[in-house]
Structure 1
């Protein structure tokens, strides 16, 4: 690989990371739209891809805290609450460090997501 050009900066790398993530999500959605059994339906369209690429509010990076919290909550409370219910919702509302009302749909999505077991 050659020498890195001067104009390729940390800022362009950061921009590329956003665009790359948006395109990856778009590709996953496209595969799901065409019936791939291995692709996740991300309920995403072109507007979502553009928002993600531009780093607007609906970008994944802006929801990562909520997704991480929902994922961790499932691992912690999953044996007590196999499904989302009002009792779990109230408990998570008290424990969340952020805007729970705004992030609740993302927390719930991550909580309800079916994860494949990983080998340790």
Structure 2
């Protein structure tokens, strides 16, 4: 029995050592891949840039306002709650809708992306 314990502990120690020695960076919890590098020089905040982008391009008549499409982005809590979806929709170019005639610049998309990657805080 003693030999089996030594063998088991040796195999376990090797497995742990292999698992902990990876050179791969920790995965991005939001799934953005490389967001740390992309956002290194972009400390975007909700109040500093993102809110203005959403107010001008999303929370407009016929879109994400009260009585319009869900969710209502005139409510800050809804913006924060839907941050990942906002990031995904703006990154893909699905929002704002082409029929609105509105487009986001690369800087605006980066601001949204980095705000979400940095935790989508009420800041």
With the length of structure 1 as denominator, give the TM-score of the two structures: 0.26
Mark the structure with the bigger radius of gyration: 2
> Of the two structures, which has the highest relative contact order with CA contacts closer than 8 Å and spacing of 6 or more?
2
With the length of structure 2 as denominator, give the TM-score of the two structures: 0.26
